[in-house]
Amino acid sequence: MQSIATPRREMTHAPMVAAAVPPQMASATSSLDHVGVVITVGREQPLFFEGDAAECYYKVVKGAVRSCKLLADGRRHIGDFFFADDFIGLDAGETYSFAGEAVMPTTLIRYSRRKVDALAAHDPRVAKSFVEIMRTSLCAAHDRMALLGRMNAMERIASFLLNLADRATDAHIDLPMTRTDIGDYLGLTMETVSRAFSQLKHDGIIEQRSVHEVAIADRDALEALAEAA
Amino acid sequence: MQSIATPRREMTHAPMVAAAVPPQMASATSSLDHVGVVITVGREQPLFFEGDAAECYYKVVKGAVRSCKLLADGRRHIGDFFFADDFIGLDAGETYSFAGEAVMPTTLIRYSRRKVDALAAHDPRVAKSFVEIMRTSLCAAHDRMALLGRMNAMERIASFLLNLADRATDAHIDLPMTRTDIGDYLGLTMETVSRAFSQLKHDGIIEQRSVHEVAIADRDALEALAEAA
DNA sequence: CGCCCATTTGAAAATAATCAATGGAAGTGG
DNA sequence: CCACTTCCATTGATTATTTTCAAATGGGCG
């Protein structure tokens, strides 16, 4: 009875907060399917705004979503990126505490929160999978706080890339988001992000097929740069 | 049926992650009492280490606990401070993802995780209160990520003080932790923390009765400094 | 009373931000 | 289909904030 372990994602260099549904939960969450509706959202389009009444959960099918918070003077923080299989909204109270926006054209399943919560209330398997998602998110959030609080620019970028690499299916990493997005996610400016990428490329640690696609050429070196974690 | 709202803590300037048991849950969590053992821990003493098998939950009765993560080269990050009524450990997987240490002589209740989880498994009220604690923690964690990623030193300190003030029972704020602790919590150095306090004192925004006790003299000014959130 | 350790304060150094300009790719419209 | 436009990324130079290094102060505890 493995109530706790999440084989799916390693936490070694892993401050990625998004929580995919763990594989052993697949059957449980698939019971949600009949309350979900498939929707598509265009690039840079909002899913919901910060402060909106939180009436839906979402699961990403294809594409990428970011969660954003805006400070009073317009500074932006990206809380997380959500990719295929990631579940969005479990942490909401009455309202969403962040905006959800599509980074690229994205397909999602939208669930009525009311229905799903009711379903979870008398299906312990569903409830448990939700708790597990929250638990994983919480650990990842703590890892990312340490990253934001204590790592320098290159360490943050290296951790970020390793993180994405762990999620990726093949050798290359998709970066559907802009450099500004990455900066807002890592607590850096676009320029600092760009310089870090240039440095990694110059040092032969990554290769860049295009702006939005990189491959790790020297994983050991990248891990050394991120070793702080 | 208020399944969501947490009247207890306002999130306005509130990146404090620790989650107190919401008041409406008190009766539910009090059913835990007979599985808990009261323990006391001395100043700077460990409760558990990062990586230890997570066999217990804890609730602070009196005193203060910090959660710490160490980076490879010794840099330290404090994930959270836990005060009276805060619950510790719900986010643990098989092992603790951070160390728990008493900031001052502290009294806690230690719960067998196995027993509590079993209890939660067939008492929906307990399970629900746990989910609520995790949900609150997750929101607070996101707020604090934005703080760490996007706020400057003075904004972080101001937010921190307002946060503690919201939890405080009377007009003055207890700071049982050291300046280094505050720095490790806010992603700053001890010196930067100290300079911020000196500045606030100089500007008449806070008054310092002692190193570990301050009073907010000009709340509006402090809120203006923290307004970013 | 005196020692020790945390805090405060100061000066110098470093990291990242800001300001500014150039380069390049994707998409639009003629 | 090509040229134009626009937006994003890159690179460079300068500035600012915070860190680091160093010294002095002071409060609490034995």
Three-state secondary structure call for residue A75 = coil
pLDDT confidence bin for B7, thresholds 50/70/90: very low
| Interface residue B75 vs chain A (CB under 8 A) | yes
pLDDT confidence bin for A2, thresholds 50/70/90: very low
- Find and list the nucleotides of strand D having atoms within 7 Å of a protein beta carbon: 8-13, 17-22, 27-28
Distances (CA, A) of B32 to A71, B35, B44: 40, 6, 27
User: How far in angstroms lies nucleotide C8's C1' from the CA of residue B208?
Assistant: 14
pLDDT confidence bin for A22, thresholds 50/70/90: low
pLDDT confidence bin for B40, thresholds 50/70/90: very high
- Find and list the nucleotides of strand C having atoms within 7 Å of a protein beta carbon: 6-11, 15-20, 25-26
pLDDT at A171: 86
Secondary structure letter of residue B34 according to DSSP: G
What protein residues sit with their CB closer than 7 Å to strand C? Answer: A 152-154, 187-189, 191-192, 210-211; B 178-180, 190-191, 193-195, 197-198, 208, 211-212
pTM above 0.85, yes or no: yes
pLDDT at A5 over 50: no
| Interface residue B2 vs chain A (CB under 8 A) | no
pLDDT at B9 over 70: no
Tens of pLDDT, residues A187-204: 999 999 999 999 999 999
Beta strands in chain B (DSSP E): 36-41, 46-48, 56-62, 65-70, 76-82, 87-88, 99-102, 106-112, 172-174, 206-210, 213-216
pLDDT at A20: 62
pLDDT confidence bin for B5, thresholds 50/70/90: very low
B211 nearest nt, CA–C1': C7
Three-state secondary structure call for residue B16 = coil
Beta strands in A103-212 (DSSP E): 106-112, 172-174, 206-210
The stretch A138-150 carries a mean pLDDT of 98
Contact B11 A137 (CB under 8 A): no
**The most confident of A3-12, A73-82, B2-11, by mean pLDDT:** A73-82
Q: How many angstroms separate the CA atoms of B17 and B38, rounded?
A: 24
pLDDT at A17: 57
The stretch B175-185 carries a mean pLDDT of 98
Mutate to test the interface with B, among A139, A145, A227 (most CBs of B within 10 A): A145
**How far apart, in Å, do the first and last CA atoms of chain B sit?**
30
Return the amino acid letter for B206. Answer: I
Distances (CA, A) of A39 to A19, A68, A102: 20, 20, 12
Tens of pLDDT, residues B84-126: 999 999 999 999 999 999 999 999 999 999 999 999 998 999 9
Q: How crowded is residue B218: how many other Cβ atoms within 10 Å of its Cβ?
A: 15
pLDDT confidence bin for B6, thresholds 50/70/90: very low
The stretch A81-110 carries a mean pLDDT of 97
Q: Residue A36 half-sphere exposure, CB side, CA atoms within 13 Å?
A: 18
Q: Which range has the worst mean pLDDT, A101-115, B26-40, B63-77?
A: B26-40
Which residues 83-102 on chain A approach chain B with CB closer than 8 angstroms? 90-94, 97-98
A-B CB pairs within 8 A amount to 131
pLDDT at B33: 75
**Mean pLDDT for chain B overall:** 89
DSSP, residue by residue, B205-227: SEEEEETTEEEES-HHHHHHHHT
- Nearest Cα of chain B lies from the Cα of A163 at a distance, in angstroms, of 17
In terms of Cα–Cα distance, which of A97, A229, A137 is closest to B143?
Answer: A97
Of all helices (H) and strands (E), which one includes residue A58? strand A56-62
Please report, rounded to a whole number, the percentage of residues in chain B having pLDDT higher than 70.
87
Q: How many angstroms separate the CA atoms of A6 and B143, rounded?
A: 25
**Chain B residues within an 8 Å CB radius of A90:** 135, 138
Tens of pLDDT, residues A76-94: 999 999 999 999 999 999 9
The stretch B183-196 carries a mean pLDDT of 98
pLDDT at A168: 87
What the block records as the tokens of B128 is: 């629900």
Residue B19 vs residue A58, higher pLDDT? A58
In terms of Cα–Cα distance, which of B197, B168, B154, B176 is closest to B104?
Answer: B176
pLDDT at B3: 35
Contact A151 B71 (CB under 8 A): yes
- Nearest Cα of chain A lies from the Cα of B90 at a distance, in angstroms, of 8
Secondary structure letter of residue B163 according to DSSP: H
Which residues 119-178 on chain A approach chain B with CB closer than 8 angstroms? 121, 124, 127, 130-131, 134-135, 137-139, 141-146, 148-151
pLDDT confidence bin for B17, thresholds 50/70/90: low
List B110's β-bridge partners, or say none: B37, B58
> Angle at CA A150, nearest 5°, toward A149 and A152?
110
User: How far in angstroms lies nucleotide C17's C1' from the CA of residue A199?
Assistant: 18
Q: How many angstroms separate the CA atoms of B105 and B126, rounded?
A: 29
pLDDT at B26 over 60: no
Of all helices (H) and strands (E), which one includes residue A86? none
User: How far in angstroms lies nucleotide C14's C1' from the CA of residue A69?
Assistant: 30
